[in-house]
Copies of this chain bind each other. A is one copy, B any other.
């Protein structure tokens, strides 16, 4: 275990605003009604899927800031990342905002990596008001990572479905007495690679990283799975979640009914997404809507969010490499 891998924040920041925007398919999923906006068409009046992703991202950021009763020029830093090559939906969405941009990349663990960083910066006192955003687009991801949609490739049974959607959060400095949902701790994950080479089986590639970060977080915070109202992995999907539970079980950590996987939550079974949802937008949509709502409404008190990312590129797979995974954990608390 690395030194100081879990940070317990001395001055935990508060989440003061969120916004979620999804594609139509995601809107029809079991939690679609909790998203702030569901698009009727995933092109979002743009000519390309990439431009649509960028517009969703910008909409999410602006609306999250507005939901806090703030203006863009009050936000000190925008932490933003996505799946597109050179994270262009993040960079292009920041183009007209005038907020300093901190670009990140951590595949589908972008949201928890971003929240963890925002919390470090605010708790450490260098910043007091930071926005975090991420998202993905099914059609943009398909043609970049797999096949153009027009090709009509058959989807393997173990594949996942990249979510179309973006989410943004605003985190703010808070004093100890202030009520609301706070980010109380975070664990930055190490890169774990057990040799999975099947690019369709992201769940299996990411599950070992999720287990590693989860067990490290439990150890460093001296907590047990039962201490959390909810434990959410990013988007391991059905198979990945089972592997995650198995791996934790092998280390003597039994995972109960308080565990869910955002990839399994995003879509209904009849939506034909095989193992479930994936992509930066997947867990970002679920956590920034229903999960943070439940914390706000005091239905949850303590939640652990473990977003997971597969750090491959098409080039590395063509060159015969296996798929490294990573998982960053953030802990929410609302008293």
Contact = CB atoms under 8 A, between A and B. Distances in A.
Interface in A235-285: none
A104 interface: yes
A106 B77 CA distance: 14
Given A4-B127, A100-B187, A100-B190, 5 more contacts: A4-B128, A9-B126, A84-B313, A86-B107, A102-B104
Given A2-B75, A311-B88, A319-B51, A191 B107 contact: no
7 contacts: A2-B73, A2-B76, A4-B76, A50-B319, A85-B313, A98-B190, A105-B105
Contacts of A314: 85
A222 B125 CA distance: 22
Interface of A: 2-5, 7, 9-10, 47-48, 50-51, 73-77, 81, 83-88, 90-92, 94-95, 97-107, 113, 117, 120-121, 123-129, 144, 187-191, 193, 311-316, 319, 321, 324, 326
A7 B102 contact: no
Nearest to A145: B86
Contacts of A326: 91, 101, 103
B324 A91 contact: yes
A36 B121 CA distance: 33
A54 B312 CA distance: 13
B85 A86 contact: yes
A105 B104 contact: yes
A96 to B, nearest CB: 8
Contacts of A316: 50, 86, 88, 92
A105 to B, nearest CB: 4
A94 B319 contact: no
Contacts of A73: 2-3
Contact of A86 (B90, B95, B193, B311): B311
Given A86-B312, A91-B311, A104-B105, A77 B188 contact: yes
